[in-house]
Structure 1
Amino acid sequence: MEIKVKVWIEDENRNLIFGSGKTEILNQIDQTGSIAKAAQNVGMNYKKAWSHIKILEEYIEDDLVLTKKGRAEDSGSKLTLKAKELMKLYKTLDEDIKEYSQKRFKELFLDRESDIVKESKNV
């Protein structure tokens, strides 16, 4: 037996604001320097990837991705420091919640499983 946990952040209207999908898009943009390549790498079309970025930027009221068109060396897409900070915070939250979930699951189910088995045999 094992526990699975998925972490995401919603607004007060239950709209998805941030989670593993948006984090992965941002991570891919950071690695590839391209929204199109990032979208392709996560199996999403460009328009949807750009939409995810815009929703998040609108909610936090700050730029996350800076784009520069052209073929110059500095063209393409780059993450802002705010985007990198947001990704880092989400990763920390996600890891903390999963770590706690694993610990608590073990306490409630796995550590007690042998006690439950012993009790049922004594009945």
Structure 2
Amino acid sequence: MDTSTKPRFQFRLRVYRDSTIAIGPGKIALLEAILDAGSITAAAQRMGMSYRRAWLLVDELNRSLREPAVESAAGGARGGGTVVTDVGRELIRRYRSIEATARAAAAEDIAAMAGMLAD
């Protein structure tokens, strides 16, 4: 049985403020999940994390920014939810852009390194 897998190269940009990760891959993925799901609760479930963990990550992200990336929406017939702000959307866009730029810039080196790996 062949257990070899194709190598996977992943960029993991993190922005630190003191010892805290202000912006990182998990927080960006959480923002994207909130954007898609419409609430922290649903996003946390989709990502397999507790609501408390998701809320703490959102709170840490919001406190790291000048303007919040996520805001609570007022409850209505469906109980409200969570909104990713324009700042949050811009943060996602720029983070993903940096990843794509880095991947493109490193493509030749990545291909060479992949060629060095055992099958």
How does the TM-score come out when normalised to structure 1?
0.75
- Aligned with 2:62 (options 38, 44, 57): 57
The answer to whether the Cα contact below 8 Å between 2:14 and 2:25 also exists between their aligned partners in 1 is no
The answer to whether the Cα contact below 8 Å between 1:39 and 1:45 also exists between their aligned partners in 2 is yes
**One-letter amino acid of the counterpart of residue 11, structure 1:** Y
Q: Which residue of 1 aligns with 2:37?
A: 32
The Cα RMSD (Å) is 2.4
**One-letter amino acid of the counterpart of residue 35, structure 1:** I
How does the TM-score come out when normalised to structure 2?
0.77
**One-letter amino acid of the counterpart of residue 87, structure 1:** I
Structure with more of its chain in helix, by fraction:
1
1:76-91 mapped onto 2 (5 Å cutoff): 76-91=81-96
Runs (4+) of structure 1 exceeding 6 A deviation are none
SS of the residue corresponding to residue 88 of structure 1 reads: helix
Aligned length: 111
Q: Which residue of 2 aligns with 1:71?
A: 76
Task: Report the structure number with the largest CA radius of gyration.
Answer: 1
The answer to whether the Cα contact below 8 Å between 2:16 and 2:23 also exists between their aligned partners in 1 is no
Residue segments in structure 2 that go unaligned for 5+ positions in a row: 1-5
Q: 1:45 to 1:12 in 2, by over 3 A?
A: closer
Q: Percent identity?
A: 23
For the residues of structure 2 that align with 1:13 and 1:77, how far apart are their CA atoms? 28
Residue segments in structure 1 that go unaligned for 5+ positions in a row: 114-123
The answer to whether the Cα contact below 8 Å between 1:5 and 1:101 also exists between their aligned partners in 2 is no
For the residues of structure 1 that align with 2:111 and 2:34, how far apart are their CA atoms? 37
